[in-house]
């Protein structure tokens, strides 16, 4: 799964990377401990161009009467995404790119949760596969929300957690966004061995209120 991540890369670099038009209300960066229900920046393709704008991290199905009317859906399993009623339509028509600098996972030592920070080994930006939905609330309120697509972890990553975000390669961005026809499901694979690197970090990140660059610093031995 992916329940926390960091985004430290500047907006102008991201809009250039994705050749996207930025919104005026992007979430601030850098952020070192992004949690579900918080706004994140995502890329969608609409009306012939890409847009880089904010969405709520936590997918809101159209039948929810309020954003908290059911489970908090911040991840979507690749194996069942086309079958689940909450995600089925979005997986076909509303896919997005969710950039990140890295994400966190936890292992257990007795009752203690030990945090790890995972990045690309080559230090390039991560690009998560995502799906999104526009939810119409009461009195005309509209909320755009998203979820990160995950798949079964392989190799060393499986020692940390059984799930891992789907990381899209640059050559798959257009396919995932629906700009190159069908076949996006082929991109929903686990990162190859050696693509990711991970390190233990301090316990401060266990609090969802913590933030700051110290959260991603390697734990001193």
pLDDT in tens, 87-136: 999 999 999 999 999 999 999 988 899 999 999 999 999 999 999 999 98
Specify whether the CB–CB gap between 47 and 18 falls below 8 A: no
Tokens of 15: 């809009």
Question: How much of the chain exceeds pLDDT 70, in percent?
Answer: 99
Output the pTM of the full model.
0.96
pLDDT of residue 174: 96
> Is the pLDDT score of 52 beyond 90?
yes
Name the CATH topology of 5-216: hypothetical protein yedk fold (3.90.1680)
- For residues 29 and 154, what is the distance between their CA atoms, to the nearest angstrom? 31
What are the domain boundaries of the chain? 5-216
- For residues 17 and 56, what is the distance between their CA atoms, to the nearest angstrom? 22
């Amino acid at each position: 799964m992916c329940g926390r991540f960091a985004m430290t890369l500047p907006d102008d670099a991201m809009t250039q990377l994705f050749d996207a038009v930025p919104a005026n209300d992007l979430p601030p960066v850098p952020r070192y401990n992004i949690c579900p229900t918080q706004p994140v920046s995502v890329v969608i393709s609409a009306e012939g161009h890409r847009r880089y704008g904010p969405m709520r991290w936590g997918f809101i199905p159209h039948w929810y009467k309020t954003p908290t009317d059911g489970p908090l859906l911040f991840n979507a399993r690749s194996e069942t995404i086309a079958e689940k009623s909450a995600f089925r339509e979005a997986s076909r028509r509303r896919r997005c790119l969710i950039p990140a600098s890295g994400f966190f996972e936890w292992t257990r030592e007795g009752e203690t949760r030990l945090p790890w920070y995972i990045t690309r080994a080559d230090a390039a930006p991560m690009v998560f596969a995502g799906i999104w939905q526009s939810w119409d609330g009461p009195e005309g309120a509209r909320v755009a929300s998203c979820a990160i697509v995950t798949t079964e972890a392989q190799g060393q990553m499986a020692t940390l957690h059984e799930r891992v975000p789907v990381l899209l390669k640059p050559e798959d961005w257009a396919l995932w966004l629906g700009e190159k026809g069908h076949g996006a499901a082929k991109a929903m694979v686990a990162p190859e061995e050696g693509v990711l690197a991970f390190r233990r970090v301090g316990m401060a990140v266990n609090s969802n209120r913590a933030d700051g660059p110290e959260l991603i610093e390697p734990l001193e031995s």
